[in-house]
Structures are given as structure tokens and as C-alpha cells.
Amino acid sequence: LRRAEPRNSELVTGVKRDISLLQRVDAGPGDRVTVLDISMDKNQSALKDLLARDVPVFYADHHFPG
């Protein structure tokens, strides 16, 4: 994605079992968030907070298909 759509960005990452990464994201007006391969189930609260602040979020998760 970074090659296909280059933009100023901040990479937030952690060790394999550190999956509550979205709470570390401080995004606001004009920001966009892309989330890849972390559990939405474990990050729902932080995701809802970002969406409530009108931050666009692209989320790709395969961990809990429903």
C-alpha cells in the first residue's frame, strides 16, 4: 500500500501478541488510518473512537470472520 499510494504516514507496530495497537493511534481531522492484520475484536473500542471523530479507517482483518 505504501508503494501504491505514497503519503506521509506513521507506522504503528508491535510484537506478534501485542494486538491492541489501535489505541496508540492519535488521529484527528484530515488524518486517515489503515489497519492491516490485527484483530478487530480486540480493537473495537479504539476503532469506534476514531470513527466517532470522523477519521476514515480502512480495516482488513481475517482473525474473526463472524
Predicted TM-score (pTM) of this structure: 0.82
Domain holding 64, by residue range, is 1-66
Mean pLDDT, contiguous 10-residue spans, the chain (66 residues): 87 82 91 91 93 95 68
| pLDDT the model gives residue 53 | 94
The per-residue b/e assignment along 9-42, b for 16 or more CB within 10 angstroms, e otherwise, is: eeeeeeeeeeeebbeebebeeebebebeebeeeb
| pLDDT the model gives residue 15 | 81
| pLDDT the model gives residue 57 | 96
Q: How many distinct structural domains can be found in the chain?
A: 1
| pLDDT the model gives residue 20 | 85
